[in-house]
Structure 1
Amino acid sequence: MIPVDAPGRVEVIAGGGESTVRLEGAWTLTHFATIEPQVQALRAALPERLRLDLDAVSRIDTAGAGLLGVLLGPARLRALLDAQPDLAPERRALLDTVGCAIHDIFAYSPPPYDGFGFVRLLQKTGEAVDAIWCQTRALLGFIGLVLETLARTLLQPRRWRIASLVVQLEQTTLDALPIVSLLSLMVGAVIAFLGATVLNAYGASVFTVDLVSFAFLREFGAVLAAILLAGRTASAFTAQIGAMKANEEIDAIRTLGLDPIEVLVLPRVLALMLGLPMLTFVAMLAGIFGGALVCVLAIGIPPAMFLSLMHTDTPLSYFWVGMSKAPVFAFLIAIIGCLEGFKVTGSAESVGERTTSSVVQAIFMVILIDALAALFFMEMGW
């Protein structure tokens, strides 16, 4: 008689036309370290035709069932279980479920290290290109879904979520005013300092006014505000929607017969498209004010002269060029932030990964669109 708590063991008994795999003792987690070397030693030497003898097994848990799945493989284990009609139902269910499902986890062995050769470089390049293509396709599809939902609800005022829009407008725009203003003012001062340093060598320090006004009206006003919102708001959108996805709140919204795009995405997209032009205008004013302070205090240009030069040398079209980019930036930032939130799989690690991804993608898209817009406006002569 084998004791109930005796460590499990396995042996292959040859006889006649088929061999028997005989299990004995307790196949439990307590004896895992004793059983696992036996299983690994017998795996490669098992004959094709087998029968399974479990009569001497005193106890078995999920660890033992997993080891048996590793020893026999999921297909052979299921076939041998079917050949044993007298097996207890609970033991059959354990072996069939755990032993077959956990096979891949126990039997996994890391791929051999193949160095960093040319083939590996091509593989990584292909994986990166495929990931970029999949992300681009998902982004375009999500843009189409949001535009379709917007068109469907635009003519139905009763479905507008004004309260949610106002809340998002406060969080994305009003709360961002201090940081956008302060950063733009400091950048404007830095640009004026650099411009004055370079232009003073040619006796043309007065053109620092044109440098500051051109830079902030055309480029820096919209870009600085958009980059700040990409880091501040896109990450917030991803974290909020990702947390709801992890807590199954989005499934609850669908269960109530509501559209998550309409409830969660549209208010955020519209709030950012309304708020970023306002922040861009504030950033332009703050940047020009920072440049004006440097011109007045460091170069000696009077405020009246600064305003006069700016009015004379700066076309109004520069202002509209900068403002026209703000809604485009806002739309892309909001779309990317919401899309990455919907990609969260349910863990805290996934929320962190998607939040990081949304910030990186949003900043990259802002700079890319700004570069393309600069080339377009330059070719158009605007």
Structure 2
Amino acid sequence: MKELGSSYFEYRKHKTDFKTEVIAGVTTFLTMAYIMFLNPVILADGGFDFGGVFTATILSIAVACFIMGFYGKTWPIGLAPGMGLNAFVAYGVCLGMGHTPAEALGAVLVAGILFVIISLTPIRAWIINSIPKSLKLGIGAGIGLFLAIIGLEIMGVVADHPVTLVTLGNLKSPIVLLGALAFVVMCVLEKLEVKGNIIIGIIVFSAIAWIFGLAEFKGVVGSIPPMTHLFQFDLGAALSASMATVVFTLFFVDFFDTAGTLTSVANVSGKIDSKGRVKDIEKAMLADSVGTVAGALMGTSTVTSYVESGAGVKAGGRTGMTSIVIGLLFLACLFFAPLATSLPKEIDGAALIYVAVLFVRNIVDIEWDDIAEAAPAVLAMIAMPLTYS
């Protein structure tokens, strides 16, 4: 594998080597490993089978990373079901609009196919440049606030109220307080530049909950859960007029999230040419879009490029071998389903709130002095959490 990688990925040309690529892959894996635990939790709330989503999540990550590695071979990118998009599918499409998981997966599939088609045409560049930067940032922040309110509800910090819609939950509950402490520790670990701060926080504080009897420990390894949603999509419903906005939303967010992630990674890895264009971006976007199609077929929400890939790039990752290492590491986690079901939802909620912070902090780049830029961004931000969509 080492020799194959050296010739196929051209390590010398990209000033890297096999060892560096492996270290980069491990680094990115640690920063995004939380998704294999959070994605099943979120989609299960929308009526999906927890075990089936757990398996689909890991397999879709592996397939998408392998495609990115072998086809987009100059991109050290990790891909997985996107946070925000999974929440939209579970809480917006399934719970809010009353669609079944099969209908939701059909919409994800159609959006993925649309992404594939556009990635193969010159329209791609036109779309990327047509949306104002501030609106893109506002949409990203809105997704973050949407995740935050879901995380607070999962934690038990807020609860339903018939008059005010939401109210404070039971803040005296030991497990709620433990979740709050987990969130604080995740933030502190990032400040200390500790890699894998989210997964460390989830595992450590879940262990504390198990030790003190605040949550049930069901084991670490077990059999691989069956893929209950494999090929279980309703394409007819997805192509109906009532699902048009859902398909557009899934495509829109995935497309611009991917473009933004690839651009940020390109800046770090030196993939911007003298004219400001990103080298080989068409290959990376096509690999990303095919990953979404594969994920929908397996039974999970939209697969997208992860901004956490920047951690691996900073560790020296420069080629698709980094992506392949990420995929292999996730495959090794297929047997951890009992561990995933043992994690207290309050700790999962803390991780979700932390991820929300990562989404929201980019609002610093909005042009606040220009009302034409600021107003649409703010409206996008506040509409998502308040409309729960």
Please say whether Structure 1 and Structure 2 have the same fold, judged by a TM-score greater than 0.5: no
- TM-score interval for Structure 1 and Structure 2 normalised by the shorter chain: under 0.3
More helix by share: 1
Structure number with greater Rg is: 1
Higher relative contact order (CA 8 A, sep 6+): 2
